[in-house]
Amino acid sequence: MACASVKRVPPLLCLVVVGCAAESNALLRPWRVFLSLAGRGSDVTLYRFVGLAVPRGSGQGTGTNEMALLGQDGRIAPRLIAAALAAGSFLIGTQPAAAQTRDADSLLIVDCLLPGKIQRLGTAATYVRARKAIKTTAGECRVRGGEYTEAGEATYGSLSKIWLPLASAGDVEAQTNLGEIFEKGVGGPPQPDLAVKWYQLAADKGFARAQVNLGSLYERGFGVPRNPARAMEWYRRASGLEGTNLPFVTAAQPAKASPAQSSVQAQEVVKLRAERDALSKQLAEERGRRQQLEAELGTVGTRLKGERSSLAQQQAQLADARRELDARTRALEAQRAAQAKAPPQAGSGASAQSPEAAAKLAALQRELDRQRQVVAQRDSQLKAMQGSVAQLEGRSKDLQTKLAAAEQRQAQVAAATPADQQVRTATVQPRRTAPALPPGVNFGRYHALVIGNNDFRFIPKLRTAAVDAQAIAAVLKTRYGFQTTLLLNADRYQLLSALNKLRGQLTSQDNLLVYYAGHGELDRTNNRGYWLPIDAEANSTANWIPSFEVTDILNAMAAKQIMLVADSCYSGMLTRSAITRLDTGMTDTDRARWYQAMATKHVRVVLTSGGVQPVLDGGGGKYSVFASAFLKALQENDQVLEGQKLAQSVTQRVAVSAEASDIDQVPTYAPMSFAGHEAGDFFFVPVR
């Protein structure tokens, strides 16, 4: 079997294919290797390392290449495994850099089964530890010699092989992973009954992630009879508030606005609609004036073009006339010189001329005088033409200045939307003085990845995404102390690479906010949302990034709290019942205890700008409507802010602007499905 016939086999496994010794490192050529492949022909994607075999005739073998790792005593020879793994790692590290870069698929999260580690017990015994199942990138799994199935080709059998042994042994994370596989239908049609089975086993042991997933099944009636009360019980257990005297309140039904707030908002909508109509009228007038200026400028330009052409002709004619004048002047001077040299005629004075010569000289003088008149006339016409051209050029510049001013006024009127005058509920219900930060609460470190994509290569460009991202990164850094990474106009590889870099850096003491502004698409058939990087094509999903790929990366992160903010669409969310919110009636002491309990929970929440509907690019002055509302909510806050309260503020502001513009845009806030959400919420802590 040739190495090239094995699909996506890394350099390590190229070593272990029979017949590939010639392609391996020269130091390892004496060894031939055997690989057990499970699959179909050349389409093999699931592979398993078996061991080494020495070539025939070496004096060490048994006459076959399938002795694997058996020594003379029949025991496994782990040193040979270690040698193969080390050699494979060496070869991987010596591959050309170009072969290891720009492979976006290698950054996707897979279920990986690592090989067992070699362990030595004392000086006499050596053994291989059990294989370890992890979620990591495809590239890392290959480098570590692990086994995985390529994206889109997994089956229940291949995935169960990875997680079932651990799940059967009682590992709660493996049990939850199996439940999610069966609920999502990764290896075939969804099997909710099996999902319930594995979730139940992990939930009964107190694993919060499984408890949330099980509660979601009861809330939706998927695999179990619909039972909202049972769902709330599981959500309560996941929150960690059971056994405390702290109230359990979810964000499923946030407090409604007071009658006074509703009245003010209704009045504001009416006012903003009137302003919108006035601005629309003003915009139409500005467009009319601009069109008039453009028409006049076009007329002046046409005249100027003609005058410049005539001027060029006059200049050419004047040059011809002057050349002719010079020629006639030289001819007259030559005639006079010739007459002066001619001998006088007999009987006449020294200065006497013949009648013929005098007549010729007079004719030349008359022609010279006429040519001088022509030159003078041409010169006068040229000066008049130059004056006309200068006047037209001045008029053209004046019109261009006026047109630029008209364009600027039109842009200002077009950008002057009601978003800059949105409702401020603080005028109805003044906010109390910001309390000090809750004592004894360790919120952890904060990081942000802010992405703004404007300059798409193959689909229409956006206007405000990059500006939105820059402003939001600045607010997060200066007002909330985030360590920010700003990523502008990123392609698929750059976006996935930035997420995976954070996956490798963040710990359980870190929190992460990911903000994405750019194009998004929703596949309604499969209920699948996509982010579109700048190399996305309209008619090909090759470079589109599905929401679940982003979710998988966030799920694989060790970070404590993660909030995804998408000024775009995003699919795959739980209900808001899985978010625990702060009860407004709590004392300061209870608030501190609540923060302390929630700050330890794994949080995976998402705030989208408009559900699955198209969102407004612009409309918020310099920013999009959503970004403008998000910025103001953060800028006006001066206390610990929960994500769901931020979402309420943003939703109110966006709703007012969208209603005034007759646009259906309603932000959505909820936990992410299959991202490891447990309970609690994301917290924004202002810098004091």
Smallest CA-to-CA distance from 684 within 650, 647, 634 is with: 634
Mean pLDDT of 337-362: 66
Kindly list the strands in the beta sheet with 520-523, ordered across the sheet, starting from the edge strand earlier in the chain.
Answer: 520-523, 528-531, 545-546
What residue type is 324 in one-letter code? E
How many domains is the chain partitioned into structurally? 3
Instruction: Write the pLDDT tens digit of every residue in 295-340.
Output: 877 787 787 777 778 778 877 877 887 788 788 788 878 877 777 7
Q: Which of 123, 138, 153 is the last residue of a domain?
A: 153
Residues 485, 491, 497, 498: what is their CA dihedral angle, to the nearest 10 degrees?
Answer: 10
Is the same domain home to 611 and 521?
A: yes
What tokens appear for 230 in the block?
A: 């049972």
Q: pLDDT (tens digit, 9 = 90+) per residue, 488-501? A: 999 999 999 999 99
Say if 186 falls within a structural domain.
Answer: no
pLDDT at residue number 383: 79
Which tokens hold the place of 211? 């408890």
Q: Classify residue 419 by its DSSP letter.
A: G
Tell whether 94 is covered by a domain: yes
Residue 387, amino acid:
G
CATH of the domain at 391: 1.10.287.1490
Domain with 325 in it: 261-336+357-418
In the chain, DSSP finds a helix count (H) and a strand count (E) of 16, 21
Q: Give the CATH number of the domain where residue 587 resides.
A: 3.40.50.1460
Residue ranges of the alpha helices (H) in 192-258?
A: 192-204, 208-220, 228-239
Nearest to 253 by CA among 640, 600, 644: 644
Least confident segment among 41-50, 219-228, 241-250, 411-420: 41-50
Are 8 and 107 in the same domain? yes
**CA 52/CA 66 separation, integer angstroms:** 8
Share of the chain above pLDDT 90, in %: 31
Q: Which tokens go with 463? A: 């206007």
575, 619: one domain? yes
Dist CA 678 CA 675 (whole Å): 9
In a domain, 506, yes or no: yes
Contact (Cβ atoms closer than 8 angstroms) between residue 175 and residue 202? yes
675 and 542 within one domain: yes
Give the model confidence (pLDDT) of 229-285 as tens digits: 898 888 888 887 766 655 556 554 444 555 555 565 566 666 666 666 666 676 677
- Whether 543 is in a domain gets the answer yes
* Domain assignment present for 112: yes
- Which one of 113-122, 291-300, 594-603 scores highest in mean pLDDT? 113-122
Domain boundary among 383, 418, 453: 418
* One domain, residues 473 and 570: yes
CA distance 554 to 236: 24
* Range with top average pLDDT, 294-308, 444-458, 612-626: 444-458
Residue 630 to residue 623: CA distance in whole angstroms:
10
Residues 367 and 489 in one domain: no
Residue 290 lies in a domain: yes
* 685 close to 679: Cβ distance less than 8 angstroms: no
Query: What three-state secondary structure class fits 584?
Result: coil
Residue 18 lies in a domain: yes
**Which structure tokens are listed for 419?**
């978003």
**Rounded to whole angstroms, what are the CA distances from 478 to 466, 475, 487, 527, 580?**
18, 5, 18, 38, 28
Of 153, 180, 214, which residue constitutes the final position of a domain? 153
Q: Based on the fold, state whether residues 469 and 598 are members of the same structural domain.
A: yes
pLDDT band of residue 577 (cuts 50, 70, 90) is: low
Segment 283-293, tens digit of pLDDT: 677 777 777 77
